[in-house]
């Protein structure tokens, strides 16, 4: 059985931008030890399926600079796309194309260079994800197996149109980081039509609210379930295994949602996500 990538490797471009979180002090340790952990576990577990495709594509429209620094650490670590590419190589089914995008040109370029340093066949796209996704889709070879890794900072950037357009690809699986914290903190304020930050994440959500008034506590769950229902309407099976990514104090930040049209990847994801204590590194 193939091993998983090392938890740390020196930065190939230490002079380039590094993701240090919203306040510049560092990202949470859950980024490498949970988010990236699940990604590696999945790629390794599905390596035989990937080998069955001539073209294997990783697509990340919110790629960042390809390097992160964890709060309290002096070292930096590989970002999600770099970790994923290295894992695909180690598992014997390297991605034949890596498509990365970011609204910040310097961050997109940094990610591209770090991937190139590992030999990845990478193509970068600069711009907001909802704008670049069509160009990214055009760069996917016909018949390729695609993993769409969708990891925006906040829920307002998780435009449902991104998922709708990517869903038109012939073979595509999704791993989406859905911002539960943003939803719980702001859903009551978003009831105000003058705000509506979540309109792109779930278009027309207010018009579908139940006749019976929902409490502030139940509204986020309704919103999330409605979002999953819209994904299912696109022909996907949404895995019931949705790991909660938490901060250092046990508060849920994201739910990692996986969905595919076929039962095999969903079954494998279910096995991965069920055992949250499984050793990776």
DSSP run (H or E) holding 260: strand 252-260
Tell me the torsion sign for CA atoms 149, 61, 233, 195. Answer: positive
CA distance 207 to 42: 37
Domain membership flag for residue 131: yes
Give SS3 for 244.
strand
Q: Which of 104, 44, 36, 116 is nearest to 70 (CA)?
A: 36
Domain membership flag for residue 264: yes
Per-residue pLDDT of the chain (281 residues; tens, 9 = 90+): 455 666 578 999 999 999 999 889 999 999 999 999 999 999 999 999 999 999 999 999 999 999 999 999 999 999 999 999 999 999 999 999 999 999 999 999 999 999 999 999 999 999 999 999 999 999 999 999 999 999 998 999 999 999 999 999 999 999 999 999 999 988 888 877 778 889 999 999 988 888 776 777 789 999 999 999 999 999 999 999 999 998 877 888 999 999 999 999 999 999 999 855 433 32
Domain membership flag for residue 189: no
Domain membership flag for residue 201: no
The rounded radius of gyration (Å) of the Cα atoms in the chain is 18
Domain membership flag for residue 46: yes
Domain range for 90 is 4-180+237-273
| Burial class of residue 245, CB neighbours in 10 A (0-12, 13-18, 19+) | buried
Domain membership flag for residue 258: yes
Number of structural domains the chain divides into: 1
Q: What is the CATH number of the domain that holds 40?
A: 3.40.50.150
């Amino acid at each position: 059985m193939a091993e998983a990538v090392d938890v740390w490797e020196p930065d190939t471009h230490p002079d380039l931008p590094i993701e240090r979180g919203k306040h510049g002090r560092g990202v949470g340790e859950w980024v490498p030890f949970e988010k990236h952990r699940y990604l590696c576990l999945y790629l390794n577990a599905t390596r035989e399926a990937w080998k069955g495709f001539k073209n294997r594509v990783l697509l990340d429209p919110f790629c960042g600079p390809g390097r992160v620094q964890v709060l309290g650490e002096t070292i930096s670590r590989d970002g999600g796309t770099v970790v994923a590419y290295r894992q695909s190589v180690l598992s014997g089914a390297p991605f034949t194309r890596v498509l990365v995008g970011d609204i910040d040109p310097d961050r997109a370029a940094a990610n591209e260079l770090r991937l190139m340093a590992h030999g990845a066949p990478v193509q970068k796209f600069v711009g907001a994800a909802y704008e670049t996704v069509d160009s990214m889709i055009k760069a996917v070879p016909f018949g390729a197996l695609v993993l769409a890794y969708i990891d925006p900072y906040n829920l307002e950037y998780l435009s449902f149109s991104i998922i709708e357009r990517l869903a038109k690809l012939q073979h595509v699986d999704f791993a989406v980081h859905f911002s539960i914290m943003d939803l719980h903190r702001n859903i009551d304020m978003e009831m105000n039509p003058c705000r509506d930050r979540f309109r792109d994440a779930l278009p027309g959500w207010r018009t579908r609210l139940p006749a019976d008034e929902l409490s502030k506590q139940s509204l986020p769950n309704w919103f999330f379930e409605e979002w999953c229902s819209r994904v299912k309407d696109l022909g996907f099976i949404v895995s019931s295994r949705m790991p909660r990514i938490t901060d250092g104090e046990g508060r849920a930040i994201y739910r990692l949602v996986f969905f595919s049209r076929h039962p095999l990847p969903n079954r494998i994801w279910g096995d991965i996500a069920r055992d949250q204590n499984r050793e990776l590194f």
